[in-house]
Structure 1
Amino acid sequence: MTTPDRAEAQAILEQLAGPNAVLRDDQWAAIEALVVERRRALVVQRTGWGKSAVYFIAAKLLRARGHGPTVIVSPLLALMRNQVDAAERAGVHAATINSSNVTDWADVQRRVTAGDLDVLLVSPERLNNPEFRDEVLPALAAGVGLVVVDEAHCVSDWGHDFRPDYRRIRTLIADLGADVPVLATTATANDRVVDDVAGQLGVGGPADQDTLVLRGGLDRESLRLSVVTAGGPAQRAAWIGAHLNELPGSGIVYTLTVAQAHDVAADLRAQGFAVAAYTGSTEAADREQLEADLLANRVKALIATSALGMGFDKPDLGFVIHLGAPSSPIAYYQQVGRAGRSTDSAEVILLPGAEDQDIWRYFASLAFPSEALVRKVIGELSQDRPLSTPALEPLVDLNRSRLEMVLKVLDVDGAVRRVKGGWLGTGQPWTYDEQRYRNLDKLRRAEQQAMLDYQSTDGCRMTFLRAQLNDPRLDAGERCGRCDNCAGARFGAEVDAAATAATRERLMRPGVEIAARRQWPTGLAKLGVELSGRITDGPEAGRVVGRLTDLGWGARLRRLLEEPDQQVPDQVVRAAVAVLAGWDWQARPTAVMGLDSATHPVLIGSLTERLAELGRLTHLGTLRYAPGRRASTAANSAYRVAALQGAWQPPGDLPAGTGPVLLVDDVTDTGWTLTLAARVLRAAGAPQVLPFALASVN
């Protein structure tokens, strides 16, 4: 068997990246360690350095010498699509197993068994799918030629994108033969994350002297970093519209929330720009089409949340704008790293907002729950009869996403096990690592402060980011010479007053539809509530003036709800009337009723009175709380419904001839308060209930 040399690796690189590509010294060092020396390697290199070239070249060289396929654990579908395309260019037979190609799994597994695949890309979630874990994974571990952990910072909950599923990779690695090489790669890891990844995966740790660690400099010579303080939401959105055509090529505009992404995309489209929104709620097929549109420059920009992040590879991406700052400089570096991979210059612009810190606090509130809640999850699982996640949900006060996160962590920790049909308890002792979670909370606060410091620094911005990532190549006093602090501001913060006014008018058009709840949560009988199946006596679809997170009414509504209870302001009444006037209801309401409130009784009461007067509606008063009602603070849908059941006093029979009733509240979150209250009005004789609130949380 011949030993591969650098020339052979160079030839494969040219197939991957074109005839002008040149293999870096560190790329060859990693390939040689994996293929020739069968070692483990940890590669921490900036975005665009060529980490994927290392593992594709190594995979092809290993297959040519009779070794098994390479397994790449990859976090995002966009990354998988790009990598499969890259592999095919080099003659590498690659396939994926992920949530978007379920119908292909059987064929892919057959090709693995038959030895027809050179590379298998697997989403981390697949590693603990019972069928894959029990039937496919053992065969892979026995015959694999190389294991690659891409975006390895996801292993660490000290990193900016921790994913519990990633920790399952250590089980795969533990089952490998001693001579099977392992490669871990990431672009965004500081010292703490590198050490944690090393411990999780057994690569690159200080005790492992046989591991090759390649950690390069993180300067991005093409990026021109700027911070522009352009005022409130309308001014910043208008700033984007005023400057978008000045920016090179096509790019990405990042927002902090889904609502903001849709608001900005709609505003820019109204100005004639070819843009589209891309968020975590975008369907997989639509995401793929939007990525293709950006790659082909059919759009000027995608207006995106962090859902468009790791793995999206457009080498000539000309700019990245952030409308609102991410909560971590490391996450910010990762996102801006999408730009300028193969261009001489790319613009990176941060437009921070006063509301950013409120959004950071909200997302921080979704962190790992208290020990009591976690032990409740463990306690509800038996060791012989599995419970599905939907069946477990009504037994613990956690919403679906947080419950799934807790189960994944407990699975990795050995306290529970995923099987066909759901989850089992293992009976193994488990310790709540309170100190670690406290340290994580402290770290998050420090990162948030660092992001504020980045905005206010008069030093080099690229140096600031590199220091946050503990760049080993950073010299004291180094300056990039390109950012606004080094080379002077390239963009002013001023925005034309007329353009700002037009943007504000578009953003401030009130009215957002809120969908009606159609199905009761499963398992309510376990909480003593005899409701199940479809909801047949609930409200119609409703409306709110705006979302608390949107760019138009968000800030104004937050201020109103945070201030002491007061009479409804005239501008809010006008907005509510505009929403009602544009509501395409099948039957106009004839009456209006307010919901009782512990926090805003004056606000809701006065709004109800004004709507009754202006709309010539029968004022039915307030739907009062029942004595001894339980406050509904639950996060979990089943618990919330149980708390709301019987929460209001029946109002008695409604006046004869009462038609649809407008039901008024201050804020809607899950929709269950309006749903349960509507049932009370329906029981009292309302033929329809039309929910209306000032704001929705999302």
Structure 2
Amino acid sequence: MTDDLRPAALAALRRLVGRDDAVFHDGQYEAIEALVGGRRRALVVQRTGWGKSAVYFVATRLLRDQGAGPTILVSPLLALMRDQIAAAERAGVRAVAINSTNAHEWGEVLTRLEADEVDVLLVSPERLNNPTFRDEQLPALVRRIGMLVVDEAHCISDWGHDFRPDYRRLRDLIAQMPPSVPVLATTATANSRVVADVVHQLGAEGVTTIRGPLARASLRLGVLRLPDATARLAWLLSHLDDLPGSGIIYTLTVAAAVDTARLLREHGHAVRAYTGQSDADEREESEALLKRNEVKALVATSALGMGFDKPDLGFVLHLGAPSSPVAYYQQVGRAGRATESADVVLLPGPEDKDIWHYFATASMPDRDRAERVLAALGASQGPLSTAALEAIVDIRRTPLELLLKVLDVDGAVRREKGGWVATGAPWTYDAERYGRIAAERRAEQDDMLAYESTTGCRMEFLQRRLDDDTAVPCGRCDNCAGPWLSAELSQDVAQSAASALDRVGVPIEVRRQWPSGLDRLGIPLKGRIPAEEQAAEGRALARLTDLGWGGALRELFRAGAPDQEVPTRMFDACVRVLAEWGWDERPVAVVAVPSRTHPRLVGSLARGLAQTGRLAYLGELALDPAAPAGRPGGNSAFRVADLHGRLDTTGLQVPAGPVLLVDDLADSRWTLTLASRELRRAGATAVLPFTLALRS
């Protein structure tokens, strides 16, 4: 190894960090030398805060000074892109991004690229398969590329903790590049199996691997087991101000993030919710508020994760555990990067395993669905848009998009202008591969449960699960140094938390538009639903994912649970929802939706509400016995086709007034929409849908 590059590299580093006395951490210069001096491929596995971004920005600066083309930096999250662009500017590196939030800037970005005025182009892995970018811009970039950087490279691997099919496409991009173009892959979270897999994906002999110890001396790890969600929220209300500085409170679901943030704000805490459903401007504003310590915390899902950069973050707290020690280490690594001490607190819940199972199964491709997609594309005379394909194969949009990505990466389909086409390449469902991944996910979940219950050092436990051979007891966690977290709760705060969790009533948004593609299924409906056939806004007792009533509802609807009359406490809560509804005109009658799976539940709820409200109970809508059972999780067009013309008001004396329509669970909302349409056509002046649960 030569030190010829060291003076220039050190100067670039000092410009990046803004300090004249800055020096390289162990391994940083070695990675830069491999990339710039040796034009090799490298994998850097180092803890959060070690300075992986310094490696690629300094290397970019040196390569550009040598006349190399721009660096392509594949980055997974918008928050990470924003921080990377700001860091690049400090290093004198001109960085720009192409992502879903700045489409208005793409033309200017491409003009600057053509003029060689860009040093780093940040793109998401999804952007690599945009037809225009892939076919028109990417080939020219590959010919001129100076370096490829794959951030959060564990996502390339089947064994990484985040199932991201778009990342697998990077293998094909790397294969197109000349061996002389350096490639850098970086991650903070990779065990030995992931490291070996990523090295294989880099596709070259002699990959330089730089792997450092993962211990974080600043982190004080602790687990506090509390009996239920009420106690966990009460603890948070009682002790949030005891946590140092500002930080992140992670939850497992969007509903939990929103509800927890609302409860904390109602009790005077400066917090904001941050989820994948927050709009881009709101997320950016929230990040800025946290960085300026103008909020105590962001209550966030994993949407605030990889790469978020606030070196003085004082704490990370989890309401519910992530599904693996690897994912947990990734998130807690946000804290304590530039402070002597930061608190890391886990408050696990009994519902965690159910949530892990849901997300694990939702991300995996299904053989039957894949074969339906391939058959539909194979029979088409041209490209099919996702919306058109959705109306043919009966798969909802989000899982359909994920499945198409998997099939695209496998070479079976291709995205073109106008939609998707089958490539004709042979494809078989890789059951062995997906079985391996599923087994690994289950093992990771068991590891997380072991972390919660271990009596040994918690940091050492995380390091060993990441195959860090340097692991030794940290001397700081609750098992090494003794618990520092008090489980004490005041009665008043516990009552406030219980009241918050007992909150009832979630709006059910009405359908205003028929789904596209009904004509393909022989259904003569399209466009806007006439106002005189629409339902009014409805109500559900709660979402299945809610912290409060969600648990009781999940148990009621779990697979194999017996049909039963509505529990008394749940019925009383439903009465409260109706009492607080605030409708324009009180309903005069109650109608039940016929249910194959929960007839006792729906019937008892409808009759009970009618009796309590002194309303006429009209009975159930008639359902054609030949009607399909319905396909929860199916797409909108097929759901409407299942029910169209099969629900009617035969035998019901529908009054000329508002009608309360009762069902068990609102998922797609098409059952409620079509039932409401029939009641409106039979004379009801309004239909008010009411269900026990809203799926999400």
In the superposition, the TM-score normalised over structure 1's length comes to 0.96
C-alpha change, 1:647 and 1:352, in structure 2 (3 Å) is farther
Following superposition, the deviation at residue 321 of structure 1 comes to 0.6
Residue of structure 1 equivalent to 2:551: 555
- Contact 1:381–1:424 under 8 Å retained in 2: yes
Cα distance change on mapping 1:647 and 1:488 into 2, 3 Å = farther
Give me the whole-angstrom Cα distance separating, in 1, the residues matched to 2:573 and 2:201.
53
The corresponding residue for 1:519 is 513
Find the aligned partners of 2:646 and 2:355 in 1 and give their Cα distance: 31
How do 1:58-457 residues align onto structure 2 when only pairs under 5 Å count?
A: 58-202=59-203, 208=205, 210-382=206-378, 385-457=382-454
Deviates more, 1:362-371 or 1:136-145: 362-371
Amino acid at match of 1:314: K
State the shift of 1:511 in Å.
Answer: 0.7
**Partner residue of 2:663?**
665
Distance in 1, Cα, partners of 2:613 & 2:152: 57
Partner amino acid, structure 1, of 2:457: C
Moved more, 458-467 or 576-585: 576-585
C-alpha separation between the residues in 2 aligned to 1:214 and 1:141? Answer: 26
Deviation at 1:198, TM superposition (A): 2.2
C-alpha displacement of 1:456? 0.8
Does the 8 A contact of 1:95 with 1:117 survive in 2? yes
Post-superposition offset of 1:681: 1.4
Name the residue aligned to 1:594: 592
Question: In structure 1, the residue corresponding to 2:628 is in which secondary structure?
Answer: coil
Match in the other structure for 1:8: 8
Q: Which residue type is aligned with residue 524 of structure 2?
A: E
Equivalent position of 1:687 in the other structure: 685
Preserved CA contact (<8 Å) 1:230 1:494: no
Alpha-carbon distance in 2 for matches of 1:266, 1:538 = 31
The amino acid across from 1:651 in the alignment is T
The question of whether the paired residues in 2 share the 8 Å contact of 1:215 and 1:472 is answered with no
- The answer to whether the 8 Å contact 1:277/1:304 transfers is yes
* Structure 2 Cα separation of the partners of residues 123 and 566 of structure 1: 49
The one-letter amino acid paired with 1:363 is F
Per-residue Cα deviation, 1:428-486 (whole angstroms, up to 9, x for no partner): 11121110111111111111111111111111111111111111433xxx211111111
Q: Distance in 2 between matches of 1:644 and 1:369?
A: 27
Alpha-carbon contact 1:653-1:685 (below 8 Å) kept: no
Distance in 2 between residues matched to 1:416 and 1:472, nearest whole Å: 43
1:528-567 alignment to 2 at 5 Å?
528-536=522-530, 537-562=533-558, 563-567=561-565
Secondary structure of the structure 1 residue equivalent to 2:688: strand
**Deviating more after overlay: 309-318 vs 645-654:** 645-654
CA contact (8 A) 1:153 1:162 kept: no
Mapped partners of 1:71, 1:4: distance in 2:
25
Deviations 1:354-402 (A, max 9, x none): 1111111222231323322211111111486111111101111321111
User: Aligned partners of 1:367, 1:647: CA distance in 2, in Å?
Assistant: 33
Shift of 1:643: 1.7
Tell me, in whole angstroms, the C-alpha distance in 2 between the residues paired with 1:201 and 1:509: 52
Mapped partners of 1:535, 1:660: distance in 2: 19
Give 3-state SS (helix, strand or coil) of 1:165's partner: helix
Distance 1:3 1:96, change over 3 A: farther
Aligned residue identity for 2:108: D
Alpha-carbon deviation of 1:581?
Answer: 2.0
Letter in 2 for 1:459: G
Per-residue CA deviations over 1:317-368 (Å, capped at 9, x if unaligned) read: 1001110011111111111111111111111111011111111122223132
2:81 and 2:246 map into 1 onto residues whose CA distance is: 22
Residues in 1 aligned to 2:675 and 2:158: alpha-carbon distance in whole angstroms: 41
Q: Which amino acid aligns with 1:167?
A: R
Secondary structure at the aligned position of 2:647 is classed as coil
Mapped partners of 1:167, 1:364: distance in 2: 18
- Maintained 8 Å contact 2:654/2:684: no
Q: Partner amino acid for 1:89?
A: R
- 1:60-107 deviation digits (Å, cap 9, x = unpaired): 011111111111011111111001101111111111011110010011
Contact 1:216–1:472 under 8 Å retained in 2: no
Deviates more, 1:551-560 or 1:403-412: 551-560
Shift of 1:645: 2.2
The answer on whether the counterparts of 2:41 and 2:202 sit within 8 Å (CA) in structure 1 is: no
Runs of at least 5 residues in structure 1 that lack an aligned partner in the other structure: none
Deviation at 1:561, TM superposition (A): 3.9
Q: Can you list the C-alpha shifts for 1:16-72, whole angstroms capped at 9, x where unaligned?
A: 123153212300000001111111101111111100000000000111111111110
- Distance in structure 2 (CA, Å) of the matches to 1:358 and 1:676: 32
In 2 relative to 1, CA 613–644 (structure 1 residues): closer, same or farther, beyond 3 Å? same
**Residue by residue, what CA displacement relative to the aligned partner does 1:538-596 show, whole Å, maximum 9, x if unpaired?**
31211111111111111122334455333333322322222112223232211111122
Superposed displacement of residue 631, structure 1:
0.7
Which residue does the alignment assign to 2:640?
A: 641
What is the rounded CA distance, in whole Å, between the counterparts of 2:291 and 2:222 in structure 1?
A: 24
Task: Tell me the alpha carbon deviations over residues 97-126 of structure 1, each in whole angstroms, 9 at most, x when there is no partner.
Answer: 111100100110111111011111111111
Counterpart code for 2:133: F
Q: Which moved more, 1:310-319 or 1:642-651?
A: 642-651
Match of 1:572 in 2: 570
Per-residue deviation, residues 641-667 of structure 1 (Å, max 9, x unmatched): 2222234343346344x3111101111
- Counterpart secondary structure, 1:25: coil
The aligned residue for residue 508 of structure 1 is: 502
**Aligned length, in residue pairs:** 688
Cα distance in 2, alignment partners of residues 58 and 655 from structure 1:
74
Once the 2 structures are TM-superposed, how far is the Cα of residue 305 of structure 1 from its aligned partner? 0.6
CA distance change for structure 1 residues 86 and 432 in 2, over 3 Å: closer, same or farther? same
Between 1:236-245 and 1:18-27, the stretch displaced more is 18-27
Alignment partner of 2:484 out of 470, 474, 490: 490
CA distance in 1, matches of 2:600, 2:176: 64
The answer to whether residue 459 in structure 2 is matched with residue 465 in structure 1 is no
Give the Cα–Cα distance (whole angstroms) in 2 for the partners of residues 376 and 544 of structure 1.
34
Question: What letter is aligned with 1:12?
Answer: A
Instruction: State the alpha-carbon separation in 2 of the partners of residues 411 and 559 from structure 1.
Output: 38
For the pair 1:33 / 2:30, whether they are aligned, the reply is: no
Report if aligned partners of 1:3, 1:36 keep a CA contact under 8 Å in 2: no
Question: 2:374, 2:200 → 1: CA distance?
Answer: 26
Contact 2:5 2:37 in 1 (8 A): no
Deviation (angstroms), 1:296: 0.6
CA shift, 1:634, in A, is: 4.4
Aligned sequence identity (%): 59
Question: RMSD in angstroms over aligned alpha carbons?
Answer: 1.7
Secondary structure in 2 aligned to 1:387? Answer: coil
Do 2:596 and 2:629's aligned partners in 1 also have CA atoms closer than 8 Å? no
Distance change in 2, residues 1:340/1:529 (3 Å): same
Q: State the Cα deviation string for residues 478-524 of structure 1 (Å, max 9, x = none).
A: 21111111110111333223211111112212111111122222212
Letter in 2 for 1:660: P
Q: Distance in 1 between matches of 2:67 and 2:331?
A: 39
Which SS does the other structure have where 1:365 is aligned? Answer: helix
What does 1:605-620 correspond to in 2, within 5 Å? Answer: 605-620=603-618
